[in-house]
Each structure stands twice: as structure tokens, then as C-alpha cells.
Amino acid sequence: MKRIKDLREYIDELDQLGDIKNVTREVDPYLEMAAVTRRGYDLHAPAPLFNNIRGAAKGMRAFGAPAAVSSMASQPAARVALSVGLPASASWLDIVECLTRSIKAEPIAPRIVETAPCKQHILHGDEASLDLFPIPYLHDGDGGPYCNTWGTIVARTPDGKWTNWSIARIQKLDAHRMTGLFMLPQHIAMVWEEWRKIGKPMPFALVQGCEPALPIVSSMPLGDYVNEGDYLGGHFGEPIEVVRCETIDLEVPASAEIVIEGHVSLDRDAEEGPFGEYPGYVVTDTSMQPVYHIECISYRDGAIWPFIPEGRPIDEYHTAVGVAMSAQTLSLLRDAELPITTVWSPLETANHWVFVTVPANWREQLPGVNSEAFCKKIAETIWNTKFGSICPIIYVLDDDIDPSNPHDYLWAVATRCHPTKRHVIDYGPILPLLACYTDEERHAHTGERIVHDCLQLAPEAGRQPHSSFRGAYPKEIQDRVLKYWDQ
């Protein structure tokens, strides 16, 4: 496994693959920079590196689509694969399996280093201004520019026992203040509540432009009180280097391009939103949220600010959450001793669907269990997690289907999912950002969820074979056709 240790090395790797587009003309951070990136998602274009941004301090750069679908049709998962240490040729399901294995790896705590390139410029007080940086206004209708869509928030509980690295959206209020979502059961909200209980503002650090595995792992729904830094060290088999902050008692990844330090208010005293969210729609609701008060900013020469204009699939929310949630789900289902081949949340569905595939011999491994009970157990295992609220629709399929291939899963859902039968409906917590629910359900944070039993009959009961090239012809005929195909 090859660890890419900072954002610049990662950009160089992508550039060698032809997956970077250097944008040298002047671009406006108000909508234009995001629009270029959004158009790139639609075309599966190389990731744009913006080198000339109106209003930003000289030398500042921005990087769009850092972990989107690659521009190389034969290697669509290349950006995420390279980020987590795999070859560019790895598939989405290879990445899921790799991250799943790392959940069981021995955690390795980060290692503190004396200094890092992010200490080249250190600003305090009024000089610590967000106005220096190319912070993008992402969607027409947003409540303002958004300072965080691909950076990691570092926070620690008051007792010092849990250091959380996570991603949550953060909106710029002015040069020295930001606000963002704090919603339970998000870990950032859990840590903030601990500080509220003792009546002290929560120290925070927001890091932009770290080594590429960090945002992927910051998206993972790891268990409560699990340190992402320890998981990432275990994943790579070596400690992640961290450096101490300037004004607060926290350490941040030493690979950072930019570090923003300060404290979060005790009260919800700023309006946050609207914002174009991952289901593909602008969420017009606003809410009162805490304020991040900035006290210090440090950064590298020619700092690079990564960003993602979330929206209709496929962008980084879908790729990162797709692999992260699938890996955690696969691990939990296997821990429950259920026979599972893989788990995948299709990127094209904005992560509203989850596919679970199982081996043909699952009945032998679960004697006396029918398919409805099996599917119900799978769904309950998923729904009884902190991320179960973002999994409203689950399909259980045989593993003759590749759930990462739309040609496979659309055919399977259409032909194996009964229009009105063979499903289990449950009522429980939902994420209010999910686009498929009513206003009443979103405001109540509860709604119906469903698991579809798409499993085929047992082989002895007359399962239908595929009428496809691989399924309808003897191997000798297949081999002959392939041998003479070019003729």
C-alpha cells in the first residue's frame, strides 16, 4: 500500500495520469469556480487546479473535484483509490474491502512532529482573515461562501480521551467568523455538547488540503470515541504525522496546507444556510447554529484550498460516503456473522440506496432462515447504527450481480424486486436532508424505511439462469466466439 503524504504529491500523481487540468485564466470565486467544477463532474473531466483567482491573496490556489470520478474511463475510482493507498486501477469494491479490513487493523496513534510547512505563515488576531483565501460561493441560493466542504474539523473532548476528525459543512460569516451544522448524532456535535456541559467554548482547528486519505476517513461513520487518526495509522501501518496548533491544545495533520484555529460558541447564535446538498437539491431551510470564532491562521506558501460544490451525483460526497459507509456496513454485517459478499451504496443514487449482496449458499450458512428474515436482520443491523438514518432503501441481492455496475443493478432491481411484495417496512430516524421524504417527516426526523428482498429462489427450486453471453452458452462456445471475435 502506497501512502501519499500530502496534497501536492497527490496532485502530481494525478497529473502524471492526465487527470489534472491547470486553469490559468482568472476565475471568480463567486459561482464561476464552482460552476467549472460542477461541469467537470458532468463530463468526468480532469480535476481543475485554479491558479489565478480574483480577490485572493497572491499565490493562493484552489483545487476542485479532488476525489470525484476519474477522467480515465477504464479507472473510474482512481482518485479515491490513490487517496487510500491502492493502485489507480482498483475498483470501488476493492476500496470498500480494503477499508473494511482496516477497521480490524491494530490502531496506530499519530506521531507529533516539531514543525510542518503549514507553519510558514502564522497570523493572529485581525490579521487572521479568511479574506486572504479563495473561499468559493458554491451554488446560486447558498447562504454565503462555504469555508468547508472537503476539509477536516479537529476537536477533542474536555477530558482529552477522544480526538475527532470529521467533515461538516461550514459557512463563512465574515473575515473572522464561520458557522456550520452541529446535528446529533454527528461526532462534532457530540464533542461540542461535552464542552457546553462544562460551560466552556470548544477549541477547534479546521484543516484544509491534507493528505488525500484524510477526507475519506473523516467521512467514515466510525464508532463513537474512535479516533480517526488512529484508524488511519492502522490503515497505512504507520503513524500519521501531526503538529501542535499555535493557540489551542490540539494537534493537526502536518500535511495541511492551511490551519484555522479558534473556539466555538456555547450557543446557537448564527443563521446557517441555505446550501445545495448531496441529494442534488438546494435545501432552502436555515437553522441557528454555533459560531466558529477564528483566532489564528497558519498556511503554506502558495496554499491550495480544496473544495467540492455538492449536488446532483456524482461528486465527492457520493464517492467518499459511498466507500466509507459501505465499508463500515460490511464490517458490521460480518461482525453479526451474516454471510455477506459485499456492500455498496450506488453513487448514481446520491447514496439513498444501499445494496447488500450475499453468496448463493447463504441458506446453507443460515439453516432454517428464510429470505424475509435474512433481509430483515440485514436491515436491522444497518438501521440500528448512527448512520442508519441515511439508509432509507436497502436491496438484498445475490452476488451474481455487481452492485457497483449500473447495468447490473438496474436489471436486477427491475427483474427481481416484486412490485408490492417481498419487502419489510420499518419506521425510524431519518436524516432531514434526504430528498425523498415529506416536509413533515423531515421536520420530525422520522419516517418509513424499506428493505427489498430481491433474492432468487434456491437452485433446487428452479432458479432462472441468466440469458446472457456468460449465462446462456456453454463455455466452449464462449471461448470460440472470443477466440475469433476480432475476425
Same-domain pairing of 446 and 389: yes
Same-domain pairing of 303 and 347: no
Provide the domain limits for residue 78.
7-307
Closest among 239, 153, 243 to 189, alpha carbons compared: 153
Same-domain pairing of 27 and 129: yes
pLDDT value of residue 461: 54
Q: What is the domain count for the chain?
A: 2
Q: What is the pTM of this model?
A: 0.93
Same-domain pairing of 298 and 349: no
Q: Considering 307, 328, 348, which residue would you say is the last residue of a domain?
A: 307
pLDDT value of residue 40: 97
Across the chain, which has 487 residues, the per-10-residue mean pLDDT values are 96 98 97 97 97 95 98 97 98 97 96 97 97 96 96 97 96 98 92 97 98 95 94 97 98 98 97 92 89 98 97 95 95 97 96 96 94 97 92 96 95 95 94 89 93 85 71 90 92
CATH of the domain at 403: 3.40.1670.10
CATH of the domain at 80: 2.30.110.10
Residue 140 lies inside a defined structural domain of this protein? yes
pLDDT value of residue 462: 53
By CB neighbour count within 10 A (0-12 exposed, 13-18 middle, 19+ buried), where does 425 fall?
Answer: exposed
Residue 431 lies inside a defined structural domain of this protein? yes
Same-domain pairing of 298 and 420: no
Same-domain pairing of 353 and 296: no
Which amino acids are annotated catalytic? 277
Q: Which grid coordinates are listed for 413? A: 432491481
pLDDT value of residue 154: 98
- Distances in Å between the alpha carbon of 145 and those of 29, 148, 311, 358, 362? 9, 9, 15, 44, 50
